[in-house]
Amino acid sequence: MDTKPIVLKLGGSAITDKTNLKTARPDVIERLAQEISDASISRLVIVHGGGSFGHPFAEKYRINDGYKNASQIIGFAETHEAMTELNKMVVEALIRHNIPAVSIAPSSFIVTKRRRIEKLDINIIAKLLDMKFVPILYGDAVLDSEQGFAILSGDQLITQLAIAFGAERIVIGVGVDGFYTADPSTPDAKLIPRVSLGEMRTLLNRAGKSEATDVTGGMKQKIIELIPAIEHGIHAVMVNAATANNIRRTLRDQPVRGTVFIKE
Amino acid sequence: MDTKPIVLKLGGSAITDKTNLKTARPDVIERLAQEISDASISRLVIVHGGGSFGHPFAEKYRINDGYKNASQIIGFAETHEAMTELNKMVVEALIRHNIPAVSIAPSSFIVTKRRRIEKLDINIIAKLLDMKFVPILYGDAVLDSEQGFAILSGDQLITQLAIAFGAERIVIGVGVDGFYTADPSTPDAKLIPRVSLGEMRTLLNRAGKSEATDVTGGMKQKIIELIPAIEHGIHAVMVNAATANNIRRTLRDQPVRGTVFIKE
């Protein structure tokens, strides 16, 4: 039987400068490509976020609210185009490091229904993995069967891909060291090294009750998206992708400062 | 009922410099974007060729021969990546001219079987057209269910799309004025303004018998791919996309020097 794949998320906050429109961090992307190459994982699916290539356009044109008026049409086109621009940088860096990365555009084969993936056809991705390619997906502007269009986040994608492939684990590279007791930029915030499924649910309940103090440290949506994978018994490791060697070590299952999300 | 779409092919020989590796013709791409914008077609699908972005890589790694050895894997990745690079230039130019162009990557949703499209799922392209987007496809390196991978040409795509959508007509922009009695660079070559289905078949028969003198003027494969569309009663107009105003005029159904391929 084939090895179970690892699903790797490269967060938009790690590979882009979120404070400047359409500004990538080419040095980080280059280093990550080197680390992924060094880790030499036999079956790997990569999903990257949008950072300053995705969110500013998606918000400007309110893509995730769905189709409201004709002026959004060019905005949808721009949002998708900006995402392919970032994707190109990631894929090119990986190929330079001899990784046979093949971009798979979510909007070319996935339709959502009220922002949720309606049906995930994994045929082409599975065949790419069998042939030793590394499929690269990304958060994207996609068509939606009920609201016209929507944003399909990389976080929704990693969980759905991990479940569909029965992934060995999920590795989430973000711009901070992991999951904190509060916003990581506040002095009292403490890194939580291990979060169980029960604790994830409790956190969400508390987050739901108090919108003012986000007890998930700004990671509420990530936790919501991750839960189905954890329920399926797939654990996730969240580490800082901006710190050298973290992604390489985590892919190799070596200890790294970060947070493990696990069923029990 | 919705208007039937026009399927427009932008040939690689028009939008790239085929004599220099990965060299686009940004001035031609920019002008074509302007002409397509001016033509203001309500339902339009665009397919572009690879030119110097596609063919050199596809040939170097023998992608169309299918999977033979592991060294082709990175070559497939490079071929697809080069095509997305050209696609990006085309899409960006169209968006600059206010055309809501959305790239649809053939390799993300099409698998061939012995180099032929196995099943064309037009759901997303149809929905894009309904929402007034302009889907942009391209010749691409795709997975193949029998030989591992293959090249899916833009010429195969335009016919399959035209048939699937019952297109009004096909417009083919190439780097010469149309279809000639011989290689257009030879002094005796004459432009043929109108070619019937019967004549296309006769030409192919003669081309098959004498490989030395190509009676299709180097367009044998284009004729082969076009025939099913003509059989379906969809006519095609081939014009020089490198000549200003040709694409705008042809899209508007105005007379242009070129060749019409038609059933009878």
Q: Which residue did the predictor score with more confidence, A150 or B215?
A: A150
Residue B115, min C-alpha distance to chain A (Å): 16
B218: its two tokens: 């180097």
How large is the average pLDDT for residues B44-72? 96
Given a cut of 90, whether residue B70 has pLDDT beyond it is: yes
B250: its two tokens: 């042809």
Give the domains, in start order, of chain B with CATH numbers. 6-177+240-260 (3.40.1160.10)
Q: What is the pLDDT of residue A1?
A: 53
Interface test with A, best of B143, B147, B149, B152 (most A CBs within 10 A): B143
Q: pLDDT digit string (tens) for A54-72?
A: 999 999 999 999 999 999 9
Q: What is the pLDDT of residue B97?
A: 98
Given a cut of 80, whether residue A132 has pLDDT beyond it is: yes
Vertex B84: Cα angle to B81 and B87 (nearest 5): 155
Q: Are B214 and B180 in contact (CB under 8 A)?
A: no
Angle between helix A26-39 and helix A71-96 axes, rounded to 10 deg: 50
| Residue of A124, A131, A148 lying closest to B73 (CB–CB) | A131
Confidence of residue B50 (pLDDT cuts 50, 70, 90): very high
| Residue of B74, B105, B128 lying closest to A95 (CB–CB) | B74
Q: What is the pLDDT of residue A217?
A: 66
User: Are A98 and B123 in contact (CB < 8 Å)?
Assistant: no
How large is the average pLDDT for residues A171-190? 91
Burial state string for A27-58 with b = 16 or more CB within 10 A and e = fewer than 16: ebbbbbbbbbbebebebbbbbbbbbbbbbbbb
Q: Are B50 and B12 in contact (CB under 8 A)?
A: yes
Q: What is the pLDDT of residue B255?
A: 96
Percent of chain A with pLDDT over 90: 88
Given a cut of 80, whether residue B250 has pLDDT beyond it is: yes
Residues 6+ apart with CB under 8 A from A99: A33, A36, A37, A134, B77
Angle between helix A71-96 and helix A51-60 axes, rounded to 10 deg: 170
Angle between helix A71-96 and helix B71-96 axes, rounded to 10 deg: 150
How large is the average pLDDT for residues A100-129? 97
Residue A125, min C-alpha distance to chain B (Å): 9
Residue A119, min C-alpha distance to chain B (Å): 13
How large is the average pLDDT for residues B54-60? 94
The secondary structure of residue A124, as a DSSP letter, is H
User: Are A124 and B109 in contact (CB < 8 Å)?
Assistant: yes
Q: What is the pLDDT of residue A60?
A: 96
Given a cut of 60, whether residue B210 has pLDDT beyond it is: no
Q: What is the pLDDT of residue A146?
A: 98
> Residue B216's CB: how many other CB atoms inside 10 A?
20
Q: Average pLDDT of chain A? A: 94
Given a cut of 90, whether residue B212 has pLDDT beyond it is: no
Q: What is the pLDDT of residue A119?
A: 92
How large is the average pLDDT for residues B12-30? 96
User: Are B108 and A100 in contact (CB < 8 Å)?
Assistant: no
Given a cut of 90, whether residue A20 has pLDDT beyond it is: yes
Percent of chain B with pLDDT over 90: 88
Vertex B204: Cα angle to B203 and B210 (nearest 5): 90
Given a cut of 60, whether residue A182 has pLDDT beyond it is: yes
What are the residues of chain A with a beta carbon less than 8 Å away from any beta carbon of chain B? 67, 70, 73-74, 76-78, 80-81, 84-85, 88, 91-92, 95, 98-105, 107-109, 111, 123-124, 127-128, 131-133, 143, 148-149
B102: its two tokens: 């959305």
Query: pTM of the full predicted structure?
Result: 0.96
Q: What is the pLDDT of residue A246?
A: 98
A chain contacts of residue B131, beta-carbon cutoff 8 Å: 67, 73, 143, 148-149
Residues 6+ apart with CB under 8 A from A144: A66, A111, A112, A113, A114, A115, A150
Whole-angstrom Cα distance, residue A137 to residue A158?
A: 9
Q: Which residue did the predictor score with more confidence, B44 or B186?
A: B44
Given a cut of 90, whether residue A205 has pLDDT beyond it is: no
> Residue A71's CB: how many other CB atoms inside 10 A?
8
Q: pLDDT digit string (tens) for B178-202?
A: 999 888 888 889 999 999 999 999 9
Given a cut of 70, whether residue B146 has pLDDT beyond it is: yes
Given a cut of 70, whether residue B217 has pLDDT beyond it is: no
How large is the average pLDDT for residues B69-78? 96
A chain contacts of residue B68, beta-carbon cutoff 8 Å: none
CA–chain centroid gap for A246, Å, is: 16
Q: Average pLDDT of chain B? A: 94
Q: What is the pLDDT of residue A216?
A: 66
